[in-house]
Structures are given as structure tokens and as C-alpha cells.
Copies of this chain bind each other. A is one copy, B any other.
Amino acid sequence: VKSLQLKKYRQEEQCFLVEGNKSVIELFRSDFEIEMIAGTEAGLSLLSKKIGDRKVDFFSVSERELESMGSFQTNESVLAVAKMKSRSIPVPASDKFLLALDDIRDPGNLGTIIRTADWFGINEIIASPQTADFYNPKTISASMGSFCRVGVVYVDLPPFLENCIVPVYGAFLSGQNVHSLKFEKGGIMVIGNESNGISKEVEKLVQHRISIPGSGKTESLNASVATGIILDNIFSSK
């Protein structure tokens, strides 16, 4: 179980870790296949009240064993191992927004972006191969259960964007004010890397450069905060 903290072993086993009571409950409500549940007696008893009668192997372990299996010091008394899902590449359409992540490296940021996308009803994200792993325990945890509803598919962004017929928007430090831009009904919104923003290759394929006006002295916003502000503007202008 512990080895699933590393991508290499997740890929070998095609399994991933879900930690904490809230996330495991969401897992039970989803169509992910569950391999097993480990938890303290208290954790399992609490869980059993909230889930249906799906047949899953339950293992009762000590608090210490549980901590040693998971990636958090306290993981709220339960932990699940689930099977990865295969997903098809999303098809851009003129009446919906896709999020495209160009090298978001921090799994916590990725998880928060997944949660934010879910809030605004976006359930498909494409991401460059260098983006943090969807199945990283920190991504799963930060998504607060939204990993069950939002999928991330890893694709090489330049050819994908080159061939798509919907408008491509990108978040930059200098661009059109996000408040004055009239967004189309659908398109692709590209969010760049935490330190370097959108890469040169992807930048060429962005038709609408947008930015969030600010009056302070910090250089930039956190990537997931910027994503939230932009999505809020997209969905309030529609």
C-alpha cells in the first residue's frame, strides 16, 4: 500500500490511494473500483454507516499501521486502494469550457484546481505530460472528493490546441482585463506553470491573452487562485 505513494508503483499496479473519511465516502459513491479499505476500528465503524453494501475487503489496523501506510501523519482513520480509470481525450465543443494545464507541478495545486473546476461544473481537464499526477495522494486529497467527478487526461498540448476549432484563452501577467473580455460560450482555458507561466510553444496557440487586474506588489497569484478567479469570470459573463 505504502508503495502507491510513488508514481512508478501506481502505474505498475494501476491502483491509487484515497485517504481520509470524506474522500473515501465520495469514492464509494463513484464508479471507481475499490480494491480494499484499511482503517482503525473506529474509522471503519464510522464509514460503514455512510456507505451502501458494496462488497469490498475491509482490514482493521492500528492507528500506527494506518499512518505508516498513508502519506499523511493523521489520515482521519481510513484509507482506500482503488483502481485507476482509463479516460478518453476530451473533444472540445463550442458550448463548453475545457481547462488545459501547462505544467502545473504541485500536486496540491492540481487537486485544488480539480476541486475548483468541479465547483464550476467543468469535468474534463487536459494537462501537459509534465503536470503533476492526478493519482498522487496529495492531488487526490486536495481535490476533496472532486477526483470522483473531474478527470485529467495527459496530452501533448501544442498538437491538441493546433487542431482544435474552439477559441483558446490563456492566463498571462499581461493581457486583456478578464473583467472586460466577453468570453465565447465555449473554448479552452490554458493555465500555465507556477513559476514560468504558459510555455512558449503553447503561447503561440493562444488567441486571447487574459489577465487578472491587481494593485499590489506581488508578482503573481497562486495558480489555483488564478484559475478560480478566471472561471468565476467566464461563468458570470455567460
Show the binding face of A for B, using Cβ within 8 Å: 108, 112, 115-123, 142, 144-146, 149, 179, 212-222, 224-229, 232-233, 235-236
List the B side residues contacting A144 at CB < 8 Å: 218-220, 222
Known A146-B218, A216-B149, A218-B119: A232·B235 in contact at CB below 8 Å:
no
List the B side residues contacting A115 at CB < 8 Å: 218, 221-222, 225
4 extra interface residue pairs, beta carbon distance < 8 Å, beyond A116-B225, A232-B233 = A115-B222, A115-B225, A146-B216, A222-B224
Mind listing 20 A-B residue pairs with CB under 8 Å? A108-B108, A112-B225, A115-B218, A115-B225, A116-B222, A118-B218, A119-B218, A120-B215, A144-B218, A144-B220, A146-B216, A179-B236, A213-B236, A214-B235, A215-B235, A221-B228, A228-B228, A228-B229, A229-B229, A232-B232
User: Do A216 and B108 have beta carbons less than 8 Å apart?
Assistant: no
Query: Shortest beta-carbon distance, A172 to chain B, in Å?
Result: 15
List the B side residues contacting A232 at CB < 8 Å: 212, 229, 232-233
User: Do A145 and B218 have beta carbons less than 8 Å apart?
Assistant: yes
Query: Shortest beta-carbon distance, A199 to chain B, in Å?
Result: 20
- In Å, the complex CA distance between A226 and B225 comes to 8
User: Do B119 and A216 have beta carbons less than 8 Å apart?
Assistant: yes
- In Å, the complex CA distance between A149 and B216 comes to 9
